[in-house]
Chain A
Amino acid sequence: MTRTSSNSPPRPAPGTRPVVPTLRRSPTLTWPRLRRIVEKIGGAVVVLFGAATAAFAAQAALPGDRATVILNIRAGQAIERTPAELAQINEQYGLQNPLVVQYLDYIGGLLVGDLGTSYQQFKPVSEVILQQIGPTVALTLTAVALSWLIMIAWVTLTAGRTGRLAGAGAVVDTTAAGLPHYWLGIILLLVFSLGLGWFPVISGPSAIGIVLPALTLAIPLAGFMGQATRTEFERSLEQPFVISARMRGMGDTGVRLRHVLRHSVLPAITLSGWALGATISGAVVVETVFSRPGIGKVLVGAVNSQDLPVVTGIVILIAALYVVANLLVDLAYTLVDPRLKSA
């Protein structure tokens, strides 16, 4: 990310501490810092605007005459349409206007939360999404929380150990990170629902039904974050403060939980914006595996029937979430990390 970009100031040689005036500095808003924040927000706005443009382009890119395509998508069959039918559709979706006007209409609509109208369900897309987003949000948040729990427990247990445990730790991280959601979901379903009967096979909206889908999303994510955290954890274990804590008579588990962990979760926090996006898109697959309601299911259905306003609406929403989450992580860094002050 920006911390490693080439225009950062020259770093002091490794091993020497940067000569910083020993004044205590609270995170005040200095000018460079403020400029940096404004720049970042500006960048995010540009990206969102670009994403909206891409979404419009996707809708305009449907091959063929759009009014005919929309009617065919509705009817599920390809036939010739009368001009009267086409005129009505053109009127409804504003397709008789030049593309520029349509584009401005679309962007203007997005600004007030209007994502367009579904080709198939005759409803505003925002309404379709609002009806279905609850279970997906619950699933995503549960999954992210679970993945942190799993990752912290596993890394604290295995990082920096010697012998078999250390090897197993890293191997499990890599393997877990590479597991495809659909397969992991099926295995969990087979073992815990069909084999042991602990969870329902079709996870409805019940609280217990969320466990397996959330685990399916959480395990690969924990693997990803674990890889980043493990490296940092092992580095922190060799820091002087660890030795001093041990000399004070602190036990190994205590040192790991109280001191080392705090220093090593930073890379995982950096990943959390990305993790949110990855988890929501993973939810698309997981909702299908576990027959769960949610926007993932709606999205798959809409892709299948080429109901593009619904597809772009959902994709835009998730992209926006992703951009905002990354922006927040970046801003948090700018405020917290004193090294970035002058950058």
Chain B
Amino acid sequence: MFGLALAYLRDRSLTTALNVLLLGISVAMLVLLVQFANQFSNRLDRDAENVDLVVGAKGSPLQLILSSIFHIDQPTGNIPLESLAMVRSDPAVKEAIPLALGDNFDGFRIVGTEAGYARLYGGEIARGKMFEKPMDAVMGASVARTTGAQLGQKFIGSHGLETAEGDGQGHDHAPFTTVGILAPTGSVIDRLILTSIESIWDVHGIEHDHAETDHADHEAADHEAEEYSHGSGHELDEQQHALSAQGHLEPEITAILLRYRNAAGAMRIPAMINRQTEMQAASPAAETARLLSLFGAGIEGARIFAWILAVTGGLAIFIALLNMARAREGDLALLRVMGASKLQVFGTILLEGLMTAASGAILGIIGAHLALLLAGRNFQTLSDLGISATRFDPAELAIFATVLLIGAIAALIPAARIFRINLALTLARSS
């Protein structure tokens, strides 16, 4: 009966192909939405899970989170180094990790920070060691894989956070040395190059004391009440070039990632920073939720549209099978005369619906993963977000099963006609 169902589908190949295509498009849309929404959401959650608060220059809180947590946007500006000491002096702060952004290597961001930053994401050294001296650099797993970096190799960072920005603006005077490569974590640090804050200052010609961040820590109380004013510049580099002309190059950082010691910190610290300083504090959880809700409405709309398409595909199967059952009533009667039971003939028509639906679903799932693969290769943002084409989402199985159900329901009424066929009458009409 499987062979017969297949023969009937082949016999009206154009209709079958169109129905498969219609279902395939809807399934591909659904799978893409599921993959994008889930992978994106998981990635955001994973990247933000160990950071309670981000402190940075005034501006859009979402931009601050995107630039400092997910590394997919420009920073809002810089804040003075003293702010790190101020934050660390607060008893409700368990951990404060500084970030200094502004340069890239081959499109991968170079992040001036401390070793604690890698620990936030469970980053462990796979080869070599963690950075210790200025100009030591540790590559994230994806960076090492893509660039083919080896331990001991030197490289030169470029201005800006993306490749295009840095064209022709390399810091030739201050090359980095790869001293370590991190094991893959499935988080944002896979795509980053980590170095010390001092390295970033050295690259940009900013004078500073050795172990300045520690020094700032000790003098925290003295700087607590200071207020800072910043221009609209987005990177250390731009501001420091401007200041350089005046002969003033104060060490700065881009943002601070905070972890609270207790719940009281969550109540007090953001309010204190937002009201009493020229900096802003943004909660990754709140901004991520806001971002997902913005995406969510669009994704939900597209999801509804895709299901409407899938139901339309089911209707197309229904119409095709109903027409087939009407046009081939003689065929079905002949099958009965040849000895096929009603259930066998019913099963053949049902099988046609299921095979069409299954073909559409398989086509859609394969098509969606191919589309993700192609998109990932052509759009850097997708790979930056960690969207993978090879990851199979359990929801795809649910989509497959639902589309099969649509195919079965669409075939049910045409197939049920076999129970109403009057064999003697049909044979008499056909003869």
A and B: bona fide binding partners: no
